[in-house]
């Protein structure tokens, strides 16, 4: 990627966002990072006073997003790359988890990224160039008991990314959905929102899953710094992928899911074609 690109990255206080911002700055790029408060803004700007720019923004404040992006375009520069990184994980059995938890999950993981995309697209389309990178998850391909709301949000963002890629390709704009596996971020720790347990019927299924996830937090195989370098390589590519998995676990689990799906399609093929008139 040519030095002095401007990346707009949501959620740079920790995890992938932090690692990506650090690597981009180290490579000579400029970064506008969104944070949640003034203290975090000061800390981010101090990382590289000449090229790190902070903006206080909650991606669920949908009415504020257009103004923030317009301010960046006017006072910092043209956004070359949008990275929708801000998000969190919700853990809870579907029957036990209130609908308000699902609304919050989708506000942060789906509606926020869509609002960001809608804000940058007029500028990118006018310039006939740009790249949108959406951080999804292997949970946008596979599912596990206890993260229905999270998987649903990531399935949605994968589908939206794929559709948008087809819509904006004629304008020189690329869209990449990047689906990490298990990485050493705060996803399963401090950032995880956990619904209260209330139905004993699910204890045998879910209690071991919750305990195992808590025990593995901070010990996952994925290295966020290596993920950052991989993401920057995707941004630099002449023909970037529309979908990319990160992590050997993601690759193995998604390949297994696709194989299982293929077998199920074959087993029910006769029923599938029987509905043609």
Q: Which of 88, 141, 150, 202 is catalytic?
A: 150
Round to whole Å and give the CA distance between 97 and 239. Answer: 41
Round to whole Å and give the CA distance between 225 and 250. Answer: 17
Q: At what angle do helices 148-168 and 99-106 cross, to 10 degrees?
A: 30
Is 150 in the active site? yes
Residue-by-residue DSSP string for the chain: --TT-EEEEE--SSHHHHHHHHHHHHTT-EEEEEESSHHHHHHHHHT-TTTEEEEE--TT-HHHHHHHHHHHHHHT----EEEE-----EEB-TTTS-HHHHHHHHIIIIIHHHHHHHHHHHHHHHHT-EEEEEE--GGGT---TTBHHHHHHHHHHHHHHHHHHHHHGGGTEEEEEEEE-SBSSSTTTTT-EEPPP--GGGHHHHHHHHHHHHHHTT--SB-HHHHHHHHHHHHH-SS--SEEEESHHHHHHHHHHHHHHHHHHHHTHHHHHTT--
Active-site annotation, residues:
150
């Amino acid at each position: 990627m040519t030095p002095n690109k401007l990346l707009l990255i949501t959620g740079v206080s920790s995890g992938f966002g932090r690692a990506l911002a650090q690597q981009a700055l180290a490579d000579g790029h400029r970064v506008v990072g969104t944070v949640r408060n003034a203290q975090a803004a000061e800390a981010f700007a101090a990382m590289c006073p000449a090229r790190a720019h902070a903006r206080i923004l909650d991606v669920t404040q949908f009415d504020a997003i257009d103004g923030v992006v317009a301010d960046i375009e006017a006072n910092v520069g043209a956004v070359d790359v949008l990275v929708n990184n801000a998000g969190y994980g919700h853990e809870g059995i579907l029957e036990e988890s209130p609908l308000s938890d699902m609304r919050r999950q989708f506000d942060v993981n789906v509606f926020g990224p869509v609002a960001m995309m809608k804000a940058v697209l007029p500028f990118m389309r006018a310039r006939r160039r740009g790249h949108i990178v959406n951080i999804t998850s292997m949970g946008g391909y596979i599912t596990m008991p206890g993260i229905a709301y999270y998987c649903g949000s990531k399935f949605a963002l994968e589908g939206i990314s794929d559709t948008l890629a087809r819509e904006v390709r004629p304008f020189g704009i690329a869209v990449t959905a990047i689906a990490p596996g298990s990485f050493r971020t705060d996803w399963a720790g401090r950032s995880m929102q956990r619904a209260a347990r209330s139905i004993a019927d699910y204890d045998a299924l879910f209690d071991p899953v919750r305990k195992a996830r808590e025990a593995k937090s901070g010990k996952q195989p994925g290295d966020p710094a290596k993920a950052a370098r991989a993401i920057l390589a995707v941004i630099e590519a002449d023909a970037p992928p529309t979908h990319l998995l990160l992590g050997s676990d993601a690759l193995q689990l998604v390949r297994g899911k696709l194989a299982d799906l293929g077998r199920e399609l074959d087993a029910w093929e006769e029923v599938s074609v029987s509905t043609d008139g």
